[in-house]
Structure 1
């Protein structure tokens, strides 16, 4: 059976950066995920790479991070006063901090810049602006 527009596919995947370092993997916890095709949950770029694959097949390909995690949105970059952060939080560029959301839950934000009392926090997905390599293994197709 092959993946078609109305298929569901159980897959293992590895998300790698261009330098080969691992960013995410379903293999870490041994739990593959279901990809649903044609319902809008996957980007067109990702679907086009996977359509036609068969159960048991593996594939490795490059994608822009925005094709998996959405484009960088300038509205998701915020400037905050350093006094809004608890004193025990170590602020440094590249650090990812969990911010409490109204109504519960948390949202990760990356510290992009520290300048005086201003802290630039980016709430875009950290891989949105990266070129990535995706390795996919199709386990089952329905």
Structure 2
């Protein structure tokens, strides 16, 4: 079956690099495939779009422009905060920190600079502004079951109502 835009269960093995470099940013080769359902926004849009039409067992190199990956760098996504908010943290330039965003979700920030009084952090994703090159093999491609399509979870999701499905 060829991968469709909506409600295909897809498994992929991948290796990703910043386009034009040899440095591997992330890979799951030799490990569990990444499984997701198309049309649910579970992976970056440019990669999902490029997988449409591929079949199980097929491999391909896919370049995803920054705008269809983690977006362009937003120069306004930096904030300077009082150093006291980072009490007990051994700060280093370039280090990633995790906190809670306004909507309650976990957000990753990067420490840009700091001194005795302030810390400047960047809310841009570390891969923002970067074109990405994926080396992908499709390990699974099948239609989603009705439950998978409804829950957005491969394998049908929960059965006890904990996901808000109403069981």
When structure 1 is superposed on structure 2, of 69-78 and 58-67 the one drifting more is: 69-78
Counterpart of 2:5? Answer: 5
Flag the 1:38–1:99 CA change in 2: closer, same or farther, 3 A.
closer
Q: For 1:49-100, what per-residue CA distance to the aligned partner results, in whole angstroms no more than 9, with x for missing partners?
A: 111111111111222344233454556422112232224x332321112335
Q: Which has the larger radius of gyration?
A: 2
- Cα–Cα, structure 1 residues 8 and 111, in superposed 2: closer, same or farther, change >3 Å? same
Partner residue of 1:22?
Answer: 24
Aligned length: 140
Q: Which has the higher contact order (CA 8 A, sep 6+)?
A: 1
Flag the structure with higher strand content.
1
SS in 2 for 1:69: coil
Q: Is the counterpart of residue 107 in structure 1 residue 103 in structure 2?
A: no
Q: Secondary structure at the match of 1:12?
A: strand
1:86 aligns with 2:87: yes
1:60 lines up with 2:61 in the alignment: yes
Please list the CA deviations of residues 19-68 of structure 1 after superposition, one character each: whole Å capped at 9, or x if unmatched: 2212222237x111223223344454223311111111111122234423
CA distance in 2, matches of 1:56, 1:66: 28
SS at match of 1:8: strand
Structure 1 gap ranges (5+): none
| RMSD of aligned alpha carbons | 2.8
Distance (Å, rounded) in 2 between the aligned partners of 1:49 and 1:86: 44
Deviates most, 70-79 or 90-99: 70-79
* Distance in 1, Cα, partners of 2:91 & 2:65: 29
